[in-house]
């Protein structure tokens, strides 16, 4: 509907410009309730709202599904338990060992929060919070803190810092290796941030671009092709929503495991 409205405003070149604005408006954040306190902007944006909804759904769904202790879960409880057991046995324990059990609540929270944000973004007129680089940067920052906490908890601050440098390397290589290893600690969360942000944003842009071809070309013959590819990408986005949640959780678990079990 938004694309149709944009196309109705002016000629062909005007439609292209308006459709471009519509696409950007869809993927970018926007203020819903402007709030300023002592000159600091605390405005509620659509991405903030979607994160609140995702968090609320997580609490409500899990409390409702697991409200009763059952020996054999059924229905939604069985599905969620299967996902939790898979993440525990196939992701966390293989990459972190038995020490990973203490990080399991955090990693499960990250997985389901990202998944819910991704899925909510597929609902018409909703927004994808994980398509905002500020959101993914915050998630990556928390992962960075957990990576460092894992190493410090296991070895102490001094030995954790020593573990960042491979043992047994020549002294003359230290001036090169120390900056490289320090940069490596920051590139890990940076990769998490950009990967999630780029994948979730790209899919929505591609879907809107296919649909906008109908109004730019103004041909009835292009409509079936545009709609078909838009639907195909939408189904692909459903898969990507699960995949990106899994990748972010798996890599975070792997990085924490590397901090707990450094390679010497």
**pLDDT tens figures, 41-80:** 777 888 899 999 999 999 999 888 887 766 666 677 888 8
Residue 7 lies inside a defined structural domain of this protein: no
Q: What is the mean pLDDT of the chain?
A: 82
Where in the sequence is the domain holding 107, given as residue range(s)? 55-260
Domain count, the chain: 1
Residue 169 lies inside a defined structural domain of this protein: yes
Residue 28 lies inside a defined structural domain of this protein: no
Residue 237 main-chain phi, psi, to 5 deg: -65, -30
Residue 85 lies inside a defined structural domain of this protein: yes
Residue 36 lies inside a defined structural domain of this protein: no
Q: Name the H helices within the chain.
A: 2-7, 12-27, 46-65, 76-87, 93-96, 104-120, 133-163, 174-217, 222-260
Structure confidence at residue 72 (pLDDT): 63
Residue 48 lies inside a defined structural domain of this protein: no
Per-residue pLDDT of 70-91, as tens digits, reads 666 667 788 888 899 999 999 9
Closest residue by Cα to residue 30 from 52, 2, 49: 49
Residue 171 lies inside a defined structural domain of this protein: yes
- Beta-bridged to residue 57, according to DSSP, are none
The model's confidence at residue 9, banded by pLDDT at 50, 70 and 90, is very low
Residue 183 lies inside a defined structural domain of this protein: yes
């Amino acid at each position: 509907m938004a694309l149709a409205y944009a196309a109705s405003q002016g000629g062909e070149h005007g439609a292209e410009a308006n459709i471009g604005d519509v696409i950007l408006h869809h993927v970018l954040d926007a203020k819903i309730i402007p709030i300023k306190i002592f000159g600091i902007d605390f405005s509620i944006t659509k991405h903030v709202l979607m994160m609140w909804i995702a968090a609320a759904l997580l609490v409500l769904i899990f409390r409702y599904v697991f409200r009763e202790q059952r020996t054999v879960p059924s229905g939604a409880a069985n599905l969620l338990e299967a996902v939790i057991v898979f993440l525990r046995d196939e992701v966390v324990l293989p990459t972190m060992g038995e020490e990973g059990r203490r990080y399991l609540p955090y990693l499960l929270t990250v997985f389901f929060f990202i998944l819910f944000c991704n899925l909510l973004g597929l609902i018409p007129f909703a927004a994808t919070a994980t398509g905002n680089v500020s959101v993914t940067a915050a998630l990556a920052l928390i992962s960075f803190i957990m990576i460092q906490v894992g190493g410090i908890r296991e070895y102490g601050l001094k030995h954790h810092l020593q573990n960042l440098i491979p043992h047994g390397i020549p002294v003359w290589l230290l001036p090169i290796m120390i900056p490289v290893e320090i940069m490596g600690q920051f590139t890990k969360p940076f990769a998490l941030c950009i990967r999630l942000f780029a994948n979730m944003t790209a899919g929505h842009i591609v879907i809107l671009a296919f649909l906008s071809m109908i109004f730019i070309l103004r041909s009835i013959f292009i409509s079936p092709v545009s709609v078909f590819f838009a639907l195909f990408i939408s189904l692909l986005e459903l898969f990507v929503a699960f995949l990106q949640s899994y990748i972010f959780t798996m890599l975070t678990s792997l990085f924490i495991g590397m901090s707990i079990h450094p390679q010497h």
